Amino acid sequence: MTDTPEEIIAPPKGMVGTALMRGMRRCCPNCGAHTLFVGYTKVAPVCTSCGLETGNFRADDAPPYFTIFVVGHIVVGAALAVEQNYHPPLWVHAALWGPLTLALSLALLPLFKGAVIGVQWAMGIRG
Ligand SMILES: [Zn+2]
């Protein structure tokens, strides 16, 4: 019996957490090599380390959804807490929350995209 590529890259049971964490680190969910993305969030078609076809996984709208959900809760909560405790002028709010929202969104989007792809691989979900 020969190993086909599908047999080689089939995820072992109980890999969801590991694959999620590897994906969040922008690493291949199968081998952990830093090969998941070729750009900011462009998924590499194939892992150059283990041959996993990562281009088959489509995260679609899940990463932006999770990013908006998390960033919104952080920024709105922080803005309300600052306003309630310090009552700063409006220009302080404008100077703080716009850049923070942009920075958090840009930082978290690749993490969530990698995590979604890792979970898709571990659960056998193909796009
Ligand atoms: Zn790999």
Q: How far apart are CA 77 and CA 64, in angstroms?
A: 19
Q: How far apart are CA 58 and CA 69, in angstroms?
A: 20
Tell me, in angstroms, the distance from the centre of ligand 1 to residue 18's CA: 13
pLDDT of residue 71: 98
Rounded to 10°, the helix 16-24/90-123 angle is: 140
Tell me, in angstroms, the distance from the centre of ligand 1 to residue 124's CA: 15
Tell me, in angstroms, the distance from the centre of ligand 1 to residue 105's CA: 26
- Amino acid (one-letter) located at 12: P
pLDDT band at 54 (very low <50, low <70, confident <90, very high): very high
* Model confidence at 7: pLDDT above 70: no
Q: How far apart are CA 51 and CA 42, in angstroms?
A: 17
Q: pLDDT tens, 64-112?
A: 999 999 999 999 999 999 999 999 999 999 999 999 999 999 999 999 9
Tell me, in angstroms, the distance from the centre of ligand 1 to residue 66's CA: 25
Tell me, in angstroms, the distance from the centre of ligand 1 to residue 126's CA: 16
Partner residues linked to 73 by β-bridges: none
pLDDT of residue 103: 98
pTM score, two decimals?
0.87
* Model confidence at 4: pLDDT above 80: no
Average pLDDT, the chain: 92
